[in-house]
A and B are shown apart, each in its own frame.
Chain A
Amino acid sequence: MTDFGYSINTSSRMNLDDFDKESFDKLAEMEPDVRKCMACGSCTASCTAGKFHETSLRSAILALQNGQEGKAIDFLKGCMLCGKCTMVCPRGINTRHLILSILKVYGTK
């Protein structure tokens, strides 16, 4: 193929109808803090795992709200529960339990 020096991105289109309200409510029941996130990204910035592998609680929560559950799990699979994100979260979110709960609700099917 001719190299044009650029390529076509894979589509990042999302379908908001994929959002699974039932599961999200279940998650919110397990860890109500999920509704408190303001997507500031502090957790991602401080993440221990994030240095080596794209790990981000912020992105995972957004992905869930956008109906991209598989992506959300991918953002959290590398987490080592070290707890740095809990210490930095300005909203006082129990991030570790939130991560465990997301893995529980969406990760074990």
Chain B
Amino acid sequence: MILTILTTAVDSIADQEVIDRIPSGYSNFVIPFVVGMVFILIYLLVGFIRILNHIPWEDKKKFLISLITPATILKNIKDIIFDCLLHVKIWKRKPLLGYMHSSIAFGWFMLIVLGHIEVALFVPKHFGSISEGALFYPIFYRFFVWVNPAHETLRSNLLFFLMDFFLLYVLSGIALAMFKRIKSIALGMKHTTKPSLPDRIALYCLWLIFPLRLLAESFTADLSGGSFLTVPMNFLFKNFFGNSLNFMPTWWAYSIVLGLFFVAMPFSRYMHIVTEVLLILFRNAGLKVRKPRKGLAEAEIYACSSCGLCLDACPMNIQKKNLKYSSVYFIRFLRRHNTKKINEIAQKCLMCGKCYALCPVSVDSPAIRQAQRATFNNCLPYDYGYLAKAADTGLANNYGDDGGKQPEVMYFAGCMSHLVPVIIESMKKIFKEAGIDYVFADEDGGICCGRPLLLAGRTEAAGEVMESNKKMIEDSGCKFLVLSCPICYKVFNEEYNLKGIKIIHHTQLIDRLIDTGRLEVTKSDGSFVYHDPCDLGRGSGIYEEPRHILSGIGELKKASKERDESICCGGSLGSLTLDYKDRGEITQGSIESLLAEKPREIATACPLCFKTFGDKAPVPVKDIAQIVCEHLAQKQEDKIYSEPGIPIAPEKESFAR
């Protein structure tokens, strides 16, 4: 009888691939890890509630709805995998750096997932139950189990292999990270950030976690199994040390660095690992920064990984002294609530948006800067009592007496275009040539679009200006609003909410007119380089139309930095405190990039860039409208267009964005 019980017991053990070596599933060495883990979990929960608390109700609603909208859920999952785990954005720009980030993030993630799978498969008792150690068991799985040499299976071997593989993968990333610290230039980063004390503690812990894990798992590999990495190391250690006395201390050390890492995490840059996920959810829900430090902004701030990629991105850093105004430091001071520094940095920035475009986490630091500016500029006095009159005089003069027949097209040149009359003259000619009937809203002086006020943080004042423009435009009954200035374009698009009115930049219009044959240009032997204005390119996503127009007229050359990497001309209205000299340096840097392939002319599509490059560039600077006018084909006959409007319907999304 007893014999049969014994044999069945032995049989059932022999059946298992893995034997629960310590059935209690506990050992003292897990304490540091558990303490760290509990601390970080509580911290995250409190932080999350705090952030939610500061989000206005209507945003909260948006957020909750986004969490149950299938399309947003899919996008969230995709973004989390691509951005947080695989770091695709970094891969695209700097492959080696991308490998480093993704190997650590994705490798670590896989180790955790596989660890849980092993537990669920082989010792399910310890899976998912807190009282059985679910919090730490899967992490220290190798310590607690005994692999049954009598019953090796393919799946257990495969898991062993995968665990070793991903450990090696992470270790390769860690090795690169160490190497990068020592020689950041090798990975193609000119500048790198100086880490703070908690950063350093967390960093060294992070460096130690995986080598220690390797050691610990190697020491136990003869008991709990292993693969190509841990088994040979176990063999080596045995022959080297001759005993397994180092077994416990390494597991203790592994647990301690893990715990320490979790405790240091909230005070270090590594907070980004979790915050990034939250930021992705917020962003996909369509939330916007409203306050500079609370709510969404807080998520943005803690999502910054201090990677320093924005240092190389920022055009101000052509001068080393300006490094301190970069987003990474701005965010660091925000974390420390250093108001004096925050204000100083907030006012310096050109708001060119390049750091935002290139940031792997897409931390919208320009938006935070704008919100910060509002904290001290929104209260300044203003008096726009004249706006009503301005709106009248602007339009009334232009409608004339043509029997009340109002054109469908309104042209709004904007303040800056009035400083560059050649743009306005060219546009008039183009309208005439294409037979477009239009009303010129601000021919006789108009009011500002409001974006400069917004950028300066004078939100309320901007609101008045925009309201007045909006009324003027909507009252005119137009269907198309054509703009020559990217600054206007961006704000009309994003803030005005003009219903039933299609907003187009003149480059889009011209491109369309050429495509539909309403405008004919001749090809010349000239060569151009196109400068992407910040607010048109990065700000509004218009990169193709201008290039398309230019390549139809001459040879289009490349700038050394272009499209979303284009360098601000230096004239930006975004900066409040950058002085004339510093701006000059930026302009020079930008021109240098444009002249990389020795084009004969610089083309741009913004009156401000035009003015700023103006006499500083050694080659002629022209607006695209101007270039088009210079290359208009001789008309065969005077064509009469039956439709004096723009050759598309305003409802159609025909203008690619």
Contacts and interface: CB of A to CB of B under 8 A. Distances in A.
B380 A108 contact: yes
Interface string A58-95: 00000000000000010001111111100110001110
Nearest to A102: B380
A54 B126 CA distance: 79
A104 B380 contact: yes
A6 interface: no
Nearest to B442: A48
Contact of B386 (A53, A82, A88, A103): A53
B579 A33 contact: yes
B379 interface: yes
A94 B377 CA distance: 17
A104 B577 CA distance: 14
Given A82-B448, A84-B418, A94 B380 contact: no
28 contacts: A48-B448, A51-B445, A52-B390, A53-B386, A77-B381, A78-B382, A79-B382, A80-B384, A80-B448, A80-B450, A80-B452, A80-B465, A81-B452, A81-B456, A82-B416, A82-B448, A83-B452, A83-B573, A84-B415, A87-B416, A92-B581, A93-B580, A94-B578, A94-B580, A96-B456, A97-B347, A100-B456, A108-B379
Interface residues of A, number: 28
A60 B578 CA distance: 22
A73 B380 CA distance: 11
A41 interface: no
Contacts of A92: 579-581
A88 B420 CA distance: 11
A83 B447 CA distance: 12
Nearest to B379: A108
Nearest to A79: B382
A50 to B, nearest CB: 9
Interface string B441-472: 00001111010110010100100010000000
Interface residues of B, number: 40
B514 interface: no
A100 B579 CA distance: 15
B499 interface: no
Interface string B344-387: 00010000000000000000000000000000110111111111
A52 B389 contact: yes
A42 B376 CA distance: 29
A32 to B, nearest CB: 9
Contacts of A28: none
B647 to A, nearest CB: 33
Contacts of B608: 83, 87
Interface in B287-346: none
Q: Which 5 A-B pairs have the closest CB atoms?
A: A92-B580, A80-B448, A51-B445, A53-B386, A52-B386
A37 interface: no
A48 B415 contact: yes
A12 B382 CA distance: 25
A80 B447 contact: yes
B442 to A, nearest CB: 9
A96 B382 contact: no
